[in-house]
Structure 1
Amino acid sequence: MEDWQTGEEIPKSKVVVIGGGTGLSVLLRGLKEKPFYITAIVTVADDGGSSGRLREEMSMPPPGDIRNVIVALADTEPLLAGLFQYRFVNGAGLAGHSLGNLFIAAMKEITGDFVTAVKEISRVLAVRGQVLPAANQAIVLKAEMEDGTIVVGESQIPKIGKKIKRVFLEPKDVQPLDDAIEAIREADLILLGPGSLYTSILPNLLVPGISKAIVESHAKKAYICNVMTQPGETDFYTASDHVNALYNHVGTDLFDTIIVNNAEIPEAVLERYREKGASPVQFDEERLKKFGFDIIQDNYVIYETYLRHNAPRVADAIAALLEQK
C-alpha cells in the first residue's frame, strides 16, 4: 500500500494469529482485507481423517489445518481454492483425502521439508502473509481427565465424554519453529483464537517457547473468545472459564484484551446446536472484569449454515485496537 501523496510504501502492521480449525480460517478471511502483514501460526496436533493418515503413512506433520489457513489467506481464483479443498469420495486409498493435503504431502517429498513445502505452496497461491506450523514435527496431544483417565490423540479427546483437567504434548521437548518465534517478537498485535480451546489453541501455546515469546512481546495481545461451546471439550464453559483454562495451562499475561460476543443467539439456531450438545459461551462480564484486561464486546456472530464469527466486524475491531495508542 502506498501513500497517495508521497507514493512511498506504508508499512503494514504485523499481526500474528495463533490457533487452528475452522474458527481461525474464518477470522483470516476478514483480516486479509485489512492492511496487515499476517502470520498464522497453526497447530500440528491433528491426528484424524486425511491429516492423520498422511501423518502416519508419510511421517509428516498433519497438513489439514495448514491447508485451510492457506486457502483462507490465498489471493487466488475461487476454482483453484475449491480444487485445493476438494475431498475424494471414491478410490482405494484416495477416499477421504483432500487434494490440498496430498499437494502439501507431495511438496514435502519434493522439497524434503514440511516448512519449506508450506512456504512454496503459499508462494504459488499468493498467500497474503505467511503460514507457519508451530513446530516442524507432528505433536501428540494428550489429555488428563478429571477422573485421572489419560486420552491420547487430538481427535479422541472430545469423544471420551469426560471433563478435561489438562492437556499436554508429547514429545515434551518439541522445538518451536524459529520463524514463529521471530514473528511473535516482531508483531504489533498477537491474536489468540478463535478455535477449539484444548485441541487447537493450547497445542500451539504448549510448544516450549511460544507462550514465553508472547509474554515477553511488547505487542498488543488479544484473545478472541469462541461463540459456542464444543461438545466433549468445553461443555457449559463461560468466557471466563476459557480464560481460566488458558491461564492454568500456560500462565497469565498472555493477552491484555478479550474480544467477546454479547449478542443473543436466535432460538431456532440454538435448537439446532442443542441437538449437537453445544450452547452459547456465556458472556459473564463481572467475572471477566476481575482479570483486569480490556473487554471489547459486540454482536460478533453471523449465521449461515453454521454459526460463525462475523469476520469483517471482528477485523474492524482488531483494526481499531491497533490504532489505539
Structure 2
Amino acid sequence: MTPEGGRDRGPKVVALGGGHGLYATLSALRTLHEQGKVSEITAVVTVADNGGSSGRLRQDYGVLPPGDLRMALAALCGTDEWGQTWAEVFQHRFAGDGDLQGHALGNLLIVGLWERLGSHVQALEWAGRLLGAKGRVLPMACSPLDIVAQVRESVDAEAVEVRGQVQVAKAPGEIVRLSLDPADPDPCVEALDAIRDADLVLLGPGSWYTSVLPHLLVDDVRTALQETTARRGVLLNLVPQAGETTGFTPQDHLRVLHEHAPGLVVDHVLADRHSVSDVPELSRAVAWLGGELVMADLRVGEDPHHDHDLLVTALEHLVAPPRTGLGAGRASA
C-alpha cells in the first residue's frame, strides 16, 4: 500500500485503558506517529469514573464520564503551538468557589458536544479535530458503568461489596472478584471494529482493577481481543498501586488478568527492568499466557511514572514487525 494509505508508515495501534496510564501510552504512540512509525492510533477508554468533575457531570446529565476521554484526547495533541495550547486549555480546571469549581474545561466541552450532536463518537471526533489530535478516542461502552468489587480485608474475613470506581480504588483489602453494572453493557461498535482491524493492541499500564481489567468484563470487547489477528501487548505498571494492588508482584498482575480473560493469548509483556525482582518467574508467567517478556528501562531513578522518551523507545520495539527489533531488551521465556 502507498504511504498515503498509511500502511507503509507503520502499524495500526489500539490502546485500551484509562487515566494517567493510558495518557502515558498515547503520548508515546503520538511521538511514534509523528516519526512515521505508527500509521493510526485509536484509544479505547473505560467509562466507569464516578468521582470529581466526571462524577458530577455523569450524575447531573446522565452522560458518559468524560474525564478519561478528555485525558486521552489531550495526550494525542500535537507538539506544535496549536496542539499544546489546546491540550493545556482542555485540561484547565476552574478554581474558585462557584458551580464550575473543579470542572475541567475539556469535560464541559465534550458534554456540550454530546448534547449538541447526540452521538458520543461524533462528539469525540469533533473534539479531536478541534485539538488536532493525532488519533481517535472511543469509549469502551455507550453508557456509563459502575465497577463492583468483592473485597475482603483479610484472608479469614468475609468479602463485602464495594461499588464505584473511586470507592473500589480506595477500598482496603484484597479484591477477590470484579464485575460491571450493568453486566452486559452495549459496546462501542467503532471500538470493536478498531480492535479487529488493528496490527497491535496494547492493554495497560494503569489502575489495574479500575482502568485496565474493566475492558475485559465487556463481553464483546473481550471477544474482539481474543479474535483479533493483531499482536496483543500488556504494559505492566512500574510499582503496585496503594489499595488496588498493594503487595502485587508483576506476576500477580498477569494472574488476575488471566482470571478475568482466561482465553486471552498475550504476545508481548513489557516490564521495567528495575521493577522486576524475579525475571525467570515473570518470564514463566508470560510464557504461560503464550507470549514473551520484553524488559526495558522505562523510568528514571525511583520515579514511579513512565519516562516519555524511554517509553517511546520501548514501544518502538513493540510496533516493529514481529520477531524484529527486540534485541537485548528481550528476556527468554
Q: After superposition, where does 1:27-42 map in structure 2 within 5 Å? A: 27-34=25-32, 35-36=37-38, 37-42=40-45
Instruction: Work out the CA distance in 2 between the residues paired with 1:165 and 1:184.
Output: 28
1:142 matches 2:154: no
Q: Given that residues 238 and 284 in structure 1 are in contact (C-alpha distance below 8 angstroms), is that contact kept between their aligned partners in structure 2? A: no
Q: Given that residues 148 and 161 in structure 2 are in contact (C-alpha distance below 8 angstroms), is that contact kept between their aligned partners in structure 1? A: yes
In the other structure, the counterpart of 1:174 is: 185
Q: Would the alpha carbon gap of residues 319 and 44 (structure 1) be closer, same or farther in structure 2, given more than 3 Å must change?
A: same
In the other structure, the counterpart of 2:48 is: 45
Structural RMSD (CA): 2.0
1:315 matches 2:312: yes
- Deviation, 1:320, is 2.0
In the other structure, the counterpart of 2:327 is: none
Q: Structure 2 length as normaliser, TM-score?
A: 0.86
CA-to-partner distance for each residue in 1:248-298, whole Å, 9 max, x for gaps? 1121434121100112xxxxxxxxxxxxxxxxx544322222231201112
Alignment gaps of 5+ in structure 2: 153-157, 324-333
Three-state SS of the structure 2 residue aligned to 1:150 is strand
1:204 matches 2:202: no
Q: Would the alpha carbon gap of residues 225 and 122 (structure 1) be closer, same or farther in structure 2, given more than 3 Å must change?
A: same
CA-to-partner distance for each residue in 1:170-206, whole Å, 9 max, x for gaps? 1011011111111111110010111110000011221
Instruction: Work out the CA distance in 2 between the residues paired with 1:8 and 1:98.
Output: 36
Three-state SS of the structure 2 residue aligned to 1:155 is helix
Q: Which amino acid aligns with 2:107?
A: N
Q: Which amino acid aligns with 1:119?
A: E
In the other structure, the counterpart of 1:20 is: 18
In the other structure, the counterpart of 2:228 is: 217
Q: Which amino acid aligns with 2:221?
A: I
Q: Given that residues 239 and 284 in structure 1 are in contact (C-alpha distance below 8 angstroms), is that contact kept between their aligned partners in structure 2? A: no
Instruction: Work out the CA distance in 1 between the residues paired with 2:123 and 2:301.
Output: 35
Q: Structure 1 length as normaliser, TM-score?
A: 0.88
Q: Alignment partner for residue 63 of structure 2, among 60, 64, 78?
A: 60
Q: Would the alpha carbon gap of residues 283 and 134 (structure 1) be closer, same or farther in structure 2, given more than 3 Å must change?
A: farther
- Deviation, 1:314, is 2.4
Count the aligned residue pairs: 304
Between structures 1 and 2, the one with greater helix share: 2
Q: Would the alpha carbon gap of residues 253 and 173 (structure 1) be closer, same or farther in structure 2, given more than 3 Å must change?
A: closer
Instruction: Work out the CA distance in 1 between the residues paired with 2:120 and 2:102.
Output: 21
1:85 matches 2:96: no
Q: Given that residues 298 and 314 in structure 2 are in contact (C-alpha distance below 8 angstroms), is that contact kept between their aligned partners in structure 1? A: no
Q: Would the alpha carbon gap of residues 11 and 282 (structure 1) be closer, same or farther in structure 2, given more than 3 Å must change?
A: closer
Query: Identity over aligned residues, as a percent?
Result: 36
Q: Which amino acid aligns with 1:82?
A: E
- Deviation, 1:11, is 4.7
Instruction: Work out the CA distance in 2 between the residues paired with 1:100 and 1:11.
Output: 31
Alignment gaps of 5+ in structure 1: 264-280
